Structure 1
Amino acid sequence: MSSRGKGSKGGAKRHTKACSQGGVKCISGLIYEETRGVLKIFLENVICDSVTYSEHARRKTVTAMDVDYALKKQGRTLYGFGG
């Protein structure tokens, strides 16, 4: 433990204690890697379908409705969005 003066705790220890007093649970750092991978695959699928819709309409811009249709195709309809 590095000494920082009178009774000072390390930054990580102080934040860990404050977080656990606030009800935050400690989780493994590997969770973030797996979550990032799953999110990347999901976004790749949505973007690929969105681009397909815009290419079919011969547009160079992907609109919000293209994304809406791509999500609907995957069974993840956005509630209250668009027509």
Structure 2
Amino acid sequence: MEAPLKLGKKKNYTSKYLPKRYRKNCRDNIMGITNTALLVAKPAIRRLARRGGVVRMQKAIYSTVREIIVSRLETILEQVVQLLESTDTPAKARKTVTTPDVSSSIALLG
């Protein structure tokens, strides 16, 4: 039976317990689309449009798309909150949003 590979400088620090060298960056995707100060907004909107089959867009479209996305997200989140508040009594109200909650609120919007 082989001994575990010792890579760290500390005693009993094997490769299994070494910290990760590169940590995954947690990005706020909604701010990337809706925030006009960030330069990430334009490519994100462009990727969404490419997925929908759009080839070319005017410059004025981006601000309009941002406003529409923000308003749509607000209505979806309002319906999700109403759904969570209406499930039980206020003492036992749920605080966790699940995938079926979001999909049912989107289905109600159409």
What band does the TM-score fall into relative to the shorter chain? 0.5 to 0.7
Shift, 1:30, TM fit = 1.2
Q: CA RMSD in A?
A: 1.3
> Which whole-Å CA distance do the structure 1 matches of 2:85 and 2:98 have between them?
11
Identity of aligned residues (%): 31
> Which sections of structure 2, spanning at least 5 residues, go unmatched?
1-54, 88-92
Q: How many corresponding residue pairs?
A: 51
1:33 aligns with 2:88: no
* TM-score, normalised with respect to structure 2: 0.42
Shift, 1:50, TM fit = 0.8
State the AA in 2 paired with 1:35. V
Shift, 1:62, TM fit = 1.3
Would you say the 8 A contact 1:50–1:66 is kept in 2? yes
The residue that corresponds to 2:99 in the other structure is 64
* TM-score, normalised with respect to structure 1: 0.55
Bigger relative CO (Cα 8 Å, ≥ 6 apart): 1
> Which sections of structure 1, spanning at least 5 residues, go unmatched?
1-23, 76-83
Shift, 1:54, TM fit = 1.2
The residue that corresponds to 1:54 in the other structure is 84
Shift, 1:65, TM fit = 1.0
After TM superposition, where is structure 1 displaced by more than 3 Å over at least 4 residues in a row? none
Shift, 1:28, TM fit = 2.5
> Which whole-Å CA distance do the structure 2 matches of 1:44 and 1:73 have between them?
14
The residue that corresponds to 1:45 in the other structure is 75
